[in-house]
Amino acid sequence: MAALAKRLLAHVENKTTDHAGDVFREPVANYTSVEKWERERQKLFRESPLLLGLSGDLPTNGSYRTLTVCDVPVLMIRGDDGIARAFINVCRHRGAPVIQDERGESRRYTCAYHAWSYDGAGALVGLPAADAFEGINRCDYALRQLALEERHGMLWGVLTPGATIDVAAWLGDDLDREFAAFDFGSCEWFVSYSIDAANWKLAMDTYFEAYHFASLHRNTINLITYNDVIAFDAFQQHQRNGFPRRNVLELRDIPETEWEPLNHMSSIYKVFPNVAVTVAPEAVLISQVLPGPTVDTSITIQSTYSRSPIDSAERRAELDQRARFIRDVILEEDYFLNHKIGAGLSSGANEFLTFGRNEPGLHHFHRMVEEFAHR
Ligand code: FES
Ligand SMILES: [Fe+2]
């Protein structure tokens, strides 16, 4: 982190920023094509490992979290043995959701329709009027399991039944090492908000550059972070974007051994294809962008986790203020405009959107979408 802070400090001192080699043009059709969108849903969201949450989403044995990704209702449970597992949240009797709330804790997971119940490992452990089902083998009626790996305090899954998962390979050595250095495993979940936006890639585009801070975020982010200064690093298909905070020049007066880099910059990982992970000294923010039911819609689940125990009213108030601030910026500034950009895409004004050399993260993201979904 100190090396990243040093780069950002130098950028601010020299009035520079990381640059991509050339201007990049992304065809507008790539945001509106239903064919492309379907391929992305399949290749990126159903067949690739996804960051589904942090270990703190399942804080105790028996706790669960549900979310729906590209029509796959996912149920994550931490079993009695402490192991986190993922299942398709669909009852094996006649297909009702087994769990209907987003989060909770239980010993048994009982379907609302006819009360078939499952344990934390997905086994069918009870059904009323069992004699009416004589002859069925209960083992054939366990919840459909999905590959889930808990690594570095993060929950990763693949949403195709029968698929396997290898998170270390998906991250690559460098990002795997970087994530290992953060104590994500001790983060406590605080709150999640769901926010609508336009096409999922258009929503993702809002997270990759600092070029819009002084204009769109004039009275919010721009007061905290420099405009149009970024340190960009690719980690295979993923990336890290560093942004200097307004107090970064203070680092000149502090011996490097005493630096607390995250007090002077923001470090945001973009975990391919759809998650932004912001690491701050006190909190971690996970923004999961999920394609909606149509090509021009998406939903972002924005979750705030505390890096220290949430053990006082004061701590709760701090976290609440932080979570609402980010939610409001995304809702009222980024996604407010995102809906309008989405509505204008098919107007014929643009055949492509243009990413400047000062927006290297966008270049990399769209190249990776092309490579992983469309080749
Ligand atoms: S559908 Fe779940 S118990 Fe019948
Ligand atoms: Fe923004």
| pLDDT reported for residue 308 | 95
Tell me: do 42 and 57 sit in the same domain: no
| pLDDT reported for residue 165 | 98
Confidence of residue 46 (pLDDT cuts 50, 70, 90): very high
Burial classification of residue 259, based on how many CB atoms lie within 10 Å of its CB (0-12 exposed, 13-18 middle, 19 or more buried): middle
Which residue from 116, 133, 136 has its CB within 8 A of the most atoms of ligand 1, so it is best to mutate? 116
Tell me: do 177 and 316 sit in the same domain: yes
Tell me: do 41 and 54 sit in the same domain: no
Which residue from 89, 92, 113, 138 has its CB within 8 A of the most atoms of ligand 1, so it is best to mutate? 113
Q: Which domain holds residue 98?
A: 50-165
What CATH number corresponds to the domain at position 84?
2.102.10.10
Confidence of residue 277 (pLDDT cuts 50, 70, 90): very high
Indicate if the pLDDT at residue 101 is higher than 90.
Answer: yes
The answer to whether residues 225 and 219 touch, using CB atoms and an 8 Å cutoff, is no
Ligand nearest to the CA of 206: 2
Indicate if the pLDDT at residue 150 is higher than 90.
Answer: yes
Task: Give 128 Cα–ligand 2 centroid separation in angstroms.
Answer: 52
Of 113, 132, 165, the position where a domain reaches its end is 165
Give CA–CA dist 214/265, Å, rounded.
17
Q: Is the CB of 218 under 6 A from ligand 1?
A: no
Rounded average pLDDT over 350-369? 98
| pLDDT reported for residue 90 | 98
**What is the average pLDDT value for the chain, to the nearest integer?**
98
By the CB criterion, residues less than 5 angstroms from ion ligand 2 are 206, 334
In total, how many domains does the chain have? 2
Rounded average pLDDT over 71-80? 98
Tell me: do 10 and 35 sit in the same domain: yes
| pLDDT reported for residue 217 | 98
For 282-328, write each residue's pLDDT tens digit.
999 999 999 999 999 999 999 999 999 999 999 999 999 999 999 99
Tell me: do 203 and 231 sit in the same domain: yes
What CATH number corresponds to the domain at position 184?
3.90.380.10
Tell me: do 237 and 128 sit in the same domain: no
Tell me: do 224 and 144 sit in the same domain: no
Confidence of residue 190 (pLDDT cuts 50, 70, 90): very high
Q: Is the CB of 90 under 6 A from ligand 1?
A: no
Of 165, 198, 230, the position where a domain reaches its end is 165
Residue whose entry in the numeric block shows the structure tokens 């094996």 = 92
Which residue has the CA at smallest separation from atom 4 of ligand 1?
Answer: 114
Tell me: do 75 and 220 sit in the same domain: no
Indicate if the pLDDT at residue 129 is higher than 90.
Answer: yes
Tell me: do 254 and 297 sit in the same domain: yes
For 193-207, write each residue's pLDDT tens digit.
999 999 999 999 999
Rounded average pLDDT over 365-370? 98
Ligand nearest to the CA of 220: 2
Q: Is the CB of 340 under 6 A from ligand 1?
A: no
Q: Is the CB of 113 under 6 A from ligand 1?
A: yes
Q: Is the CB of 341 under 6 A from ligand 1?
A: no
Ligand nearest to the CA of 126: 1
Tell me: do 244 and 343 sit in the same domain: yes
The answer to whether residues 175 and 181 touch, using CB atoms and an 8 Å cutoff, is no
Burial classification of residue 138, based on how many CB atoms lie within 10 Å of its CB (0-12 exposed, 13-18 middle, 19 or more buried): middle
Which residue has the CA at smallest separation from atom 1 of ligand 1?
Answer: 94
| pLDDT reported for residue 183 | 87
Of 115, 141, 165, the position where a domain reaches its end is 165
Tell me: do 195 and 244 sit in the same domain: yes
Rounded average pLDDT over 238-256? 98
Percent of the chain beyond pLDDT 70?
100
Tell me: do 38 and 58 sit in the same domain: no
